[in-house]
Each structure stands twice: as structure tokens, then as C-alpha cells.
Amino acid sequence: MKALFWLAIKSLRHHPWRSLLLMVCLSAVTYVPWVGSVLLQRYGQDLHGRAAATPLVLGQPGNRFDLCLGALFFRKASLPPLHWSDYQALLERSDHVAVPLQLGFTVQELPLVCTTPEYFEQRALVCDSGHTPYAIRQVTLGSKAAAKFGVSIGDKLHSDPTAGFGLSGAPAQSLEVVGILHPTHGPDDRAIFASVQTAWLLHGFLHGHTDLGTLQNEQPNLILGSHSGGLILSGALVPDQAGESPNPVHLHKDAGALPLSTVILWPESDKARTLLQTEIETEGHFAILRPTTVVEDLMRYTLRFKTLIDRLVWLLGIGMLALFALVTALSSQMRSKEWTTLRRLGAPPGTVAGLLALEVGCIAMAALALAAAGTWITIQWLPNLVHAL
């Protein structure tokens, strides 16, 4: 056996391109279904785990997947907003905890989640350092967000402008880091949290004031000109005043009409959840979803797609195995003189078959190792599929 193994290794090394071609073909056929299965399993675990921890999601009627994934994973969605008055109406009931979310803003492309302190209580989020945001322009970072930015308590971050570098849209605002959350190994780790009032500031519904004389002396470049007895100011003028400043920002819009992306509801019991969902569905004004149900539907669609991919992979595998058999048969014919030499040297019966089996086995083992290594690298470095939706 040792002699046959030595001969098999020598033969494979003598024909490196043939051996490499066969190994790559077999590893590709193995790698694709392995990666698909592992990624789908991880994808399902992330979705089901997050959905199970979120009883109900309330929003405007529209795409249920957008509404649910936005509430669970802070995914951007083009849905009509709720209003602050809708959230206040939910507070009149005592059988649940209602938590508003305002999404759509980012800080260096990471989601800025504007919410209330109840969110941290319901998700059991605690700070490793600092505290949760309670004032305008204060932010608390998830552990991965803090590591990405390399910031600490007291540092400043800037929100991404909503219209890029154009003249329209809300300008960037300066945000103060007041806390860093303990890792949760979930979507909260890569998010930045702020108060709901901060979202309204970014929308442009909150404004501050500054002394005109001070502005002319210290920042004359922000004054573009005059018109009808007034001054035209640059859109780059962003008052940077926290809530405790002498000239705080104030509201220029009806409070009840202020926008919210969604509201997450934590009923006190299963009975309260059923009653609340039935009541809201009967009224028909809003969409109320059970994330577990939405995730199960989404996974069914995903499994159908994976089944199609698996069938295509099986067809590809059959083709690859046919290619493997063809190359092996042609190689055996080309090595007929080698087999004759072995017989003349007194090789026992079955030596040729054993040698070919060892060569095929070595190639198969190398292909499996390559596929396993490729699968591991893909799992380690591929971004979380849930956030890429």
C-alpha cells in the first residue's frame, strides 16, 4: 500500500495541471452547496432570533418585508411615515410598551436609530461606558460601530447629509458620543442610537437661533447677501447647540404631525398581543405585523430559491463528474505502457485499479479540503446577509 501511495503521489505531481483541473472541478461542485447551506442556516438563525424577540411591529400599510426588516435590522425603506400623534394614542393603553423608531439617517453609512429609552430596556441593552442618549445631538454607539469609528466618550461624529453635497436636504449635524453599548452579537452592535428629537433636528423641524452681530463678526462667509431688508444665510450654517445650551433648538412644526418610521410593541402577555393585533387590524388604519410570521414567509421564499440553485448545482455536479470520469479514462489509456511495465515487473493483480483509486482518492480529499477552506473563509469574511438585504 505504501508503494502504491508513493506511486500515486508521483503520478499526480508528474501531471500537475491535470490534477489541479480535477481538484478545482470537484471542489467547486462541493463548495457551492456547502456555502449555500451554511449561509442560509446563519441567515435563518439571525432572522428568527431577532423576530422572536420582537412581538409586534406597527407601521403604515405597504410592503410588509420592508416594514418588518426595517424595524428589526434598521433597514432603509421607502414607506409612508407614522406620526407622533399615532404613537401617543398607543400610550393610552396600559397592556403594552410602545417604542417609536425613526430610521433613514446614517453616520458614516451606519444606521442612526432614533428612539426612546424604553428601547434599551426592552432589548436589555446596557452601556459598557457612558449612558444612553437623553438629549438632542447625543448618541450611544453599538460595540462594532464604536470599534469602527475608534471613538470614546465625548468625541464628536457627524451625520451624513441627506442630499449628499447638494443644496437641498438636511445638512450634517454634529453628534456627541455619550455612551458605548455592551456587545449583543446582533444588529444593535452596528447601530448608532439617538433620541427621537435628534431625528426631527436632522429632518429640519427643529431650529436654533444665533446673534446676528456675532455671526457677522465670527463667520461672515456664511452671509451670502441681502434681500428685502433681510440677510440670505448659507445652508452651511448649522447651529450646534445641545438641549442645555442658553439658546436651545425649538420646534417649528405641529408636534402631533412629526414623523416616525415605525413603532415596536411589547404586549404584557400573549392574550394582550392577540387583542391588540386584532383591534388594530379591524380598524384598518395601520399595518401591524408579527415578525415571526413575516420571517417564516421570507424563509419560504428563500428556500424555494435555494432549491432551484441546488438543482442547478446538481446538474453542474453531474457534468463535472462526467468530465472527471472522461479525464481519468483518457489518462488511463495514455498510461497503457506504464500499466504494461508494472505487470512485467510482477505487480500483483489489482495494482492498476488500486493505483487509479488512490489517485482519485487523493484528488477528492484535496478537493474537499479546498472546498472546506473556501467555505470557512467565505463565512468569516462575507458581510451579514441580513444587513445586505
Contact 365, 28 (CB under 8 A): no
Q: Which helix (H) or strand (E) holds 294?
A: helix 291-334
Average pLDDT over residues 348-368: 79
* One-character DSSP codes across 220-250: GGGEEEEETTEEEEPTT------TTSSS--E
pLDDT tens readout for residues 242-251: 444 444 555 6
164: pLDDT strictly greater than 80: no
Beta strands 156-158 and 174-181: pairing type? antiparallel
Distance of alpha carbon 197 from alpha carbon 116, whole angstroms = 9
Neighbours of 313 (CB within 10 A): 19
Residues in the chain: 389
Which positions ≥6 away from 132 have C-beta within 8 Å? 117, 120, 125, 140, 178, 179, 193
State the alpha helices, DSSP H only, in 128-208.
143-149, 196-203
pLDDT at 98: 94
Give the pLDDT of residue 179: 95
Check pLDDT > 70 for residue 365. Answer: yes
Q: How confident is the model at residue 214 (pLDDT cuts 50, 70, 90)?
A: low
What are 253-290's pLDDT values in tens digits?
677 788 899 999 999 999 999 999 999 989 888 999 99
pTM greater than 0.75: no
Give the C-alpha separation, 74 to 66, whole Å: 10
> Per-residue pLDDT for 241 more than 80?
no
Half-sphere exposure of 179 (CA within 13 A, CB side): 24
Please give the grid coordinates belonging to residue 187.
444588529
Mean pLDDT of 184-204: 90
Confidence of residue 117 (pLDDT cuts 50, 70, 90): very high
Average per-residue pLDDT in the chain? 80
Distance of CA 112 to the CA centre of its chain: 14
Other beta carbons within 10 Å of 227:
8
- Burial of residue 383 (CB within 10 Å: 0-12, 13-18, 19+) is exposed
Sorting pLDDT into bands at 50, 70 and 90, what band is 291? very high
Helical packing angle, 291-334 and 64-73, nearest 10° = 90
Query: Rounded to whole angstroms, what are the CA distances from 241 to 118, 156, 173, 201, 247?
Result: 25, 13, 10, 11, 7
The 10s digit of each residue's pLDDT in 9-65 is 777 777 777 778 788 878 888 887 888 788 788 888 888 889 999 999 999 998 888
At 210, the pLDDT band (50, 70, 90 cuts) reads low
Residue 131 has pLDDT above 60, yes or no: yes
Report pLDDT digits (tens) over 305-357: 777 777 877 787 787 778 777 777 777 777 777 767 777 777 777 777 777 77
Phi, psi of 160 (to 5 degrees): -75, 130
Neighbours of 187 (CB within 10 A): 20
Contact indicator for 258, 247 with CB cutoff of 8 Å: no
* CA dist list (Å): 71 to 66, 125, 291: 9, 16, 9
Q: Which three cell numbers stand for residue 120?
A: 434599551
Band of residue 363 on the pLDDT scale cut at 50, 70, 90: confident
